[in-house]
Amino acid sequence: MDRQLTYIAVKEVIPNATQPRETFAEKGLIELADSIRVHGVLEPLLVVKAGWGYKVIAGERRFRAACLAGLTRVPAIVLKEEQRELEEIAIIENLQRQNLTPIEEARAVKRLIDRHHLTQEDAAIALGRSRPAVTNLLRILSLPQEVQDMVQQGLLS
């Protein structure tokens, strides 16, 4: 796979009409945009040269959040692939991502707060979340261990 890292203007980015993710929750985009304002785009978009710009193969959500955050340029890896391979990459990129379980996320946030003596408000700002979202997440850790185990195993959400 031929790859080249670059920064491209957001006005040159063309959304992918065949991208696998069909819905983009507004709240999640706003939270990601808040995080991008603080930390930048941590994972480059995967794009392919298309006419006057670059078509997104993977990273449409990051692109939309970067626009909401007011970025004018985004990091991108320019791919030189055949159409079938591009469609495969778009699907694989979403399949390979496995979100943290709510318990893992809650423990990680608590660890961040404890290690760095943060308030829940500070943690919320750093993570691009609302304070109530952080508070509710941390409440999971006060559940009985057997309930936490069920959440961890995906039996409860």
DSSP letters, 118-157, are --HHHHHHHHT--HHHHHHHHHGGGS-HHHHHHHHTTS--
C-alpha to C-alpha distances, 10 to 13, 63, 73, 99, 131, nearest whole angstrom: 5, 8, 5, 27, 30
Active site residues: 60
- DSSP label at residue 51: T
Q: Would you say 126 and 38 are in contact if contact means Cβ atoms under 8 Å apart?
A: yes
- DSSP label at residue 12: G
